[in-house]
């Protein structure tokens, strides 16, 4: 069939005006935050109901058309990029919060609900949706589930997976499955819900998700601590973790801090320059807890692990301290960074970071390297900034040459080549550094169960069938 | 091949003395805590290493011999029963704790580690393994993972699933997979670890599990509250949950309490007789928290939701209050109870329980019914006791006739026919009340990926292929 004929058929499946083929839409909806691939979708379709999603998937099977799910398109692995004439299925019109139950602390969301919309909704109920990250203002719940989004509060609250009470999905075969019925306990065979979480849309599309909420945190308080070297961050983590229930433990390098302070809209935490900074957060629910935090800070200073520090005394100060960490990604995007999102178990972080640092220093002596990340859960973001006078192509080509060495080191430490950004297309060819050949074969066979014709986001995670 | 020839081959795969075929062993290892099926295994084999497990699975594929995993055999769904000439693979000699990492708070366990052994090990490190239930003294980690064991602390700590950092499994094809590498963040494709959790050994065998530990709880304190009726329990739950971080919220009926008190070794919580009792637990980490608990208790009394109550003032009192709940299952086992382990979302519990109660009262007017369960997570245990003068066969036959009605009610409330006991053989024919035909087909197809010859615990969850 011609492209035109396919689009004509697609038009019959959704409401008028809900298929776009203009150049600007194809460009906008065909990509995510990665910049490696040129978007080239056939069309963008906007379903408004589960039935329309099913109709699109069944049609795609019949016509052997590839589908790419599209949420907030804030992904960093090109999992939502349509570069090969696919039909993009965008969930912008399935963006309603459908129900709330105060006793179950659950919210039924359509996949297009923005993360921040859910966070705000929870706050309005006196509750809390604890999954949070820099792109929460535009990422969507469907995408969060597709990548099992993590972020800055994982040390306490876990990944998105922990907050998915139930899912309605349309599989690659077009079947509607209601998975887990929002139950806390349900031992009736395989928990297929778990398979769809983190599957990057390769098994099916989420059409409804029941998300759990938590009680609201009580007087969240942050500290920023400057350390004399990276190695000191780990004993600081352990000292605080032993005394307090931490809600976050992040780190950033002096270069990351300098970039954010260079914006001019965020105050410095303190004047003493330090090579590394830890940002930690806890609920100062009583004065006792706050005093415990200060005593632990003093202990860390005495041990020589901390040079200087500050503790938030107000909501405004809390926000300002968090900006030091949360603005990094957006701020450095100006330099078209080459991003690596890697993880190891927490105990291996110091040795691992030293090894990676040595490789990077040797191979990129002329590039600026910015480290930051979620050190409390072993997740490091390694960002290499493009020199202003170098072309994007040359820069990425040079970065790619060192990938193998970085990933070999990840493999040596039994780590993950993608801690929370997913595989998509950018990590696809490196999957073997984190998953064995046998695992990959089982994954492909599982995909074939749910998507026998290979129409669901083909070429993501593994090469297209 | 003859049975004798099969056993002779099996003998070559493990160490001398590690295959048993005597009648007492076949009887002991061929069953779990259910009493519906007569055990009839071909042999019991005790591997001592992953390599031996792989050898057994490969041999079973070659010879088309069915394998049944065997842990503590405390299961309540006959998932570990070998009633059809299977070879039972018992993990008694793979029962070591292999490693501990204090920074990662992780423990590498062989599958035969007893739950209590892990709990005690954690305590010795000043940490906590929070999954707990009545059979913790004999159940094994491999079995806990196979059924995604829940128990009494799920409201705060979640199911076993939450504590599995990584798994090594031997699939039904005999492949060894190392799943998730113990990472907190790992977004590299499908999380196959999740499939094996709760699969009841139908996809493969767990040969090693890295379990996470939590910080030790701080001054755990329990309350037992008597309520005038079942409906009052729910506002009590909500009142306490709004004010405290509960670690447990259980309930029991007066009949359940009477059975436990009848043992003579546990003191009554208080004298006032009440039709229902709630048992709740929290960390009284400061005096403020304890005072908050007392104030909430008073509020509940004022509202008429609570008639009488008691709060533990010592570790001994805490233990005694817990015995009121934890001894129920063991105590009523004397009456060969017909057990139903069902769940709905928390908000639906009162209406659901009322409906089930009406059915039971109508259909079993002459039977004694004992209710208890984990009401904080929507999980109710319905136990019908066998009259002393009725035969087991007649009793179970009469109970079975009402199953359909109970399960139709579960379905009507969108609940689970097995909250935490699994499907095994006892719930197999009722699976359709909780999972759709399409879901069941996908589950079978997933099983075929990992166990194409159908040798892994066949007849459990679904009928044998």
Task: Confirm or reject contact between B218 and chain A (CB < 8 A).
Answer: no
Interface contact B346-A197, CB threshold 8 A: no
Interatomic CA distance for residues A393 and A75, integer angstroms: 21
Whether chain B has a CB inside 8 Å of the CB on A303: the answer is: no
Tokens of A446: 């599982």
Q: What is the pLDDT of residue B403?
A: 87
> Quick one: A115 exposed, middle or buried, by C-beta within 10 A (0-12, 13-18, 19+)?
buried
CA nearest B258: which of B246, B244, B269, B248?
B269
Question: Given B175, B195, B378, which is nearest A184 (Cβ)?
Answer: B378
Q: Are strands B43-45 and B19-20 parallel, antiparallel or unpaired?
A: antiparallel
Place of tokens 């994007």: A392
B-chain CB neighbours of A457 within 8 Å are none
Residue found by looking up tokens 């393994």 in the block: B129
Q: Are the Cβ atoms of B343 and A414 closer than 8 angstroms?
A: no
Q: Is B287 on the interface with A (CB under 8 A)?
A: no
How many Å lie between the alpha carbon of A127 and the closest alpha carbon of chain B? 10
Predicted pLDDT at A35? 76
Strand B164-171 relative to strand B204-212, pairing: antiparallel
Residue A150 touches chain B, beta carbons under 8 Å: yes
Asked whether the predicted pLDDT for residue B111 surpasses 80, the reply is yes
* Three-state SS at B131: coil
Which pLDDT score is estimated for B298? 98
* Residue A459 falls in which region: left (phi positive, over 0), alpha (psi -120 to 50) or beta: left
| Bridge pairing between strands B220-227 and B276-283 | antiparallel
Q: Which pLDDT tens digits describe chain A residue by residue (465 residues)?
A: 899 999 999 999 999 999 999 999 999 999 998 878 999 999 999 999 999 999 999 999 999 999 999 999 999 999 999 999 999 999 999 999 999 999 999 999 999 999 999 999 999 999 999 999 989 999 999 999 999 999 999 999 999 999 999 999 999 999 999 999 999 999 999 999 999 999 999 999 999 999 999 999 999 999 999 999 999 999 999 999 999 999 999 999 999 999 999 999 999 999 999 999 999 999 999 999 999 999 999 999 999 999 999 999 999 999 999 999 999 988 998 888 988 999 999 999 999 999 999 998 898 888 888 999 999 999 999 999 999 999 988 998 888 888 889 999 999 999 999 999 999 999 999 999 999 999 999 999 999 999 999 999 999 999 986
Task: Give ∠ CA A369-A151-B155 in degrees, rounded to 5.
Answer: 155
Nearest chain A residue (CA) to B412: A181
Q: Least CA distance to A421: which residue of chain B?
A: B187
Between CA B27 and CA B201 the distance in angstroms is 20
pLDDT digit string (tens) for B174-202? 999 999 999 999 999 999 999 999 999 99
Q: What are phi and psi of A412, to 5 degrees?
A: -60, -35
Report the chain B residue with the minimal C-alpha distance to residue A155.
Answer: B184
User: Which residues 6+ apart lie within 8 Å of A197 measured at CB?
Assistant: A145, A148, A160, A161, A164, A167, B191
Q: Which candidate from A103, A181, A182 shows the least CB-CB separation from B238?
A: A103
Instruction: Report which of A92, A80, A119 is spatially closest to residue A211, judged by C-alpha positions.
Output: A119
Tell if the CB–CB gap between B344 and A183 is shorter than 8 Å: yes
Contacts of B241 in chain A (CB under 8 A): 215
Q: Residue A403: its pLDDT value, please?
A: 87
CA distance B148 to B190: 19
Paired residues of B371 in beta bridges: B382
CA B132: distance to chain centroid?
9
For residue A179, list chain B residues with Cβ-Cβ distance below 8 A.
Answer: 439
Contact B147 A443 (CB under 8 A): no
How far A434 CA lies from chain B's nearest CA (Å)? Answer: 7
Across A191-205, A388-402, B254-268, B367-381, least confident range: A388-402
Residue numbers in A near B183 (CB within 8 A): 343-345, 378, 415-416, 419
pLDDT of A203 reads: 98
Closest approach of A20 to chain B, Cα-based (Å)? 31
**Yes or no, beta carbons of B416 and A183 under 8 Å apart:** yes
Q: Record the tokens describing residue A81, joined without a space.
A: 């990029």
B464 pLDDT tier (thresholds 50, 70, 90):
confident
Q: Which residues of B touch A159 (CB under 8 A)?
A: 185
Proportion of chain B in helix, strand, coil states, percent, rounded to 5: 40, 20, 40
Q: Which residue has the higher pLDDT, B62 or B366?
A: B62
Chain B residues closer than 8 Å to A158 by CB: 162
Do A412 and A433 contact (CB within 8 A), yes or no? no
- CA-nearest residue to A241 within chain B is B215
Comparing C-alpha atoms, which of A450, A451, A425 is closest to residue A65?
A: A451
Q: Do B442 and A181 touch (CB under 8 A)?
A: no
Ranges of H-type helices in B64-175: 115-124, 141-147, 154-157
Test the B interface: residue of A163, A186, A435, A437 with most B CBs within 10 Å = A186
Shortest distance between the Cα of B101 and any Cα of chain A, in A, equals 8
**Confidence category of residue B30, pLDDT binned at 50, 70, 90:** very high
Residues of B in contact with A379 (CB under 8 A): 184-185
Structure tokens at A414: 């039994």
Q: Which domains does chain B have, with CATH numbers?
A: 3-92 (3.30.43.10), 97-215 (3.30.465.10), 220-331 (3.30.70.2190), 336-422 (3.30.70.2740)
pLDDT for position B47: 98
Q: Of B188, B247, B283, B419, which to mutate for an interface test with A (greatest number of A Cβ within 10 Å)?
A: B188
pLDDT at residue B371, as a whole number: 93
Q: In whole angstroms, what is the distance from residue B264 CA to residue B252 CA?
A: 18
Whether residue A185 and residue B461 make contact (CB cut-off 8 A), yes or no, is: no
Cα B370 to chain centroid distance, Å, stands at 18
Nearest alpha carbon to residue B372 among B232, B256, B235: B256
Length in residues, chain A: 465
Please list, in sequence order, all residues whose beta carbon lies within 8 angstroms of the beta carbon of residue B259, skipping any fewer than 6 positions away.
Answer: B328, B331, B332, B370
Cβ under 8 Å to A: B residues 244-263: 245
In this prediction the ipTM stands at 0.96
* Residues of chain A neighbouring B101 (CB-CB closer than 8 A): 345, 347
Question: Which A residues, 320 through 359, put their C-beta within 8 Å of a C-beta on chain B?
Answer: 343-347
Query: Pairing between strand A164-171 and B220-227?
Result: unpaired
Neighbours of A354 (CB within 10 A): 11
Q: Which of A184, A199, A241, A413 should we substitute to test contact with B (largest number of B Cβ atoms within 10 Å)?
A: A184
Task: Give me the residue from B103, B176, B423 closest to A238, CB to CB.
Answer: B103
Per-window interface: B 46-85 vs A, CB < 8 A: none
Question: How far, in Å, CA of B32 to CA of B174, rounded?
Answer: 25
Cβ–Cβ < 8 Å for A178, A206: no
Note whether A440 contacts B184, CB cutoff 8 Å.
no
- What SS3 state is found at A313? coil
Q: Can you give the C-alpha Rg of chain A in angstroms? A: 23
| Structure-token pair, residue B329 | 């299952």
Report pLDDT for A156.
Answer: 96
A185 chain-B contacts, CB cut-off 8 A:
150, 154, 159, 343, 374, 377-379, 416, 419-420
């Amino acid at each position: 069939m011609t492209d035109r004929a396919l689009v004509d058929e697609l038009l019959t499946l959704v409401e008028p005006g809900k298929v776009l083929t203009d150049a600007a839409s194809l460009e906008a909806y065909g990509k995510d935050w990665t910049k490696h691939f040129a978007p080239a979708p056939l069309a963008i379709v906007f379903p408004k109901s589960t039935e329309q999603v099913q109709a699109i998937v069944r049609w795609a099977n019949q016509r052997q058309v590839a589908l790419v799910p599209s949420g907030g398109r804030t992904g960093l692995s090109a999992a939502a990029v349509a570069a090969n004439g696919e039909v993009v299925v965008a969930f912008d019109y399935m963006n309603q919060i459908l129900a709330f139950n105060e006793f179950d602390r659950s919210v039924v969301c359509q996949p297009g609900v923005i993360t921040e919309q859910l966070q705000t909704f929870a706050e309005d109920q006196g509750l809390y949706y604890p999954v949070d990250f820099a792109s929460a203002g535009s990422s969507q719940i469907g995408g969060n589930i597709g990548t099992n989004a993590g972020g800055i509060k994982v040390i306490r609250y876990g990944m998105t997976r922990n907050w998915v009470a139930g899912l309605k999905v349309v599989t690659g075969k077009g079947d509607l499955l209601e998975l887990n019925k929002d139950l806390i306990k349900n031992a009736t065979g395989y928990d297929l819900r778990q398979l769809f979480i983190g599957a990057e849309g390769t098994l099916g599309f989420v059409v409804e998700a029941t998300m759990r909420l938590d009680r609201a945190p009580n007087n969240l308080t942050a500290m920023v601590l400057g350390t004399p070297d990276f190695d000191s961050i780990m004993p600081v983590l352990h000292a605080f973790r032993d005394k307090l229930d931490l809600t976050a433990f992040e780190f950033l390098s002096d270069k990351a801090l300098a970039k954010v302070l260079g914006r001019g809209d965020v105050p410095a935490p303190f004047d003493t320059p330090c090579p590394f900074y830890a940002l930690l957060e806890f609920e100062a629910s009583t004065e006792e807890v706050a005093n415990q935090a200060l005593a632990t800070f003093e202990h860390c200073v005495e041990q020589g692990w901390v040079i200087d520090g500050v503790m938030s005394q107000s909501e405004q100060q809390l926000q300002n301290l968090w900006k030091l960490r949360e603005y990094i990604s957006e701020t450095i995007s100006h330099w078209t960074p080459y991003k690596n999102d890697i993880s190891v178990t927490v105990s291996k972080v110091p040795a691992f970071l030293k090894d990676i640092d040595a490789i990077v220093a040797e191979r990129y002596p002329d590039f600026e390297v910015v480290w930051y990340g979620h050190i409390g859960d072993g997740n490091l973001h390694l960002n290499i900034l493009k020199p202003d006078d170098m072309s994007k192509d040359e820069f990425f080509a040079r970065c790619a040459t060192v990938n193998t060495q970085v990933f070999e080191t990840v493999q040596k430490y039994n780590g993950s080549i993608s801690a929370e950004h997913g595989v998509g297309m950018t990590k696809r060819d490196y999957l073997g550094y984190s998953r064995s050949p046998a695992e990959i074969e089982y994954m492909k066979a599982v995909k074939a169960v749910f998507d026998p014709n290979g129409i669901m986001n083909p070429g993501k995670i593994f090469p297209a069938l």
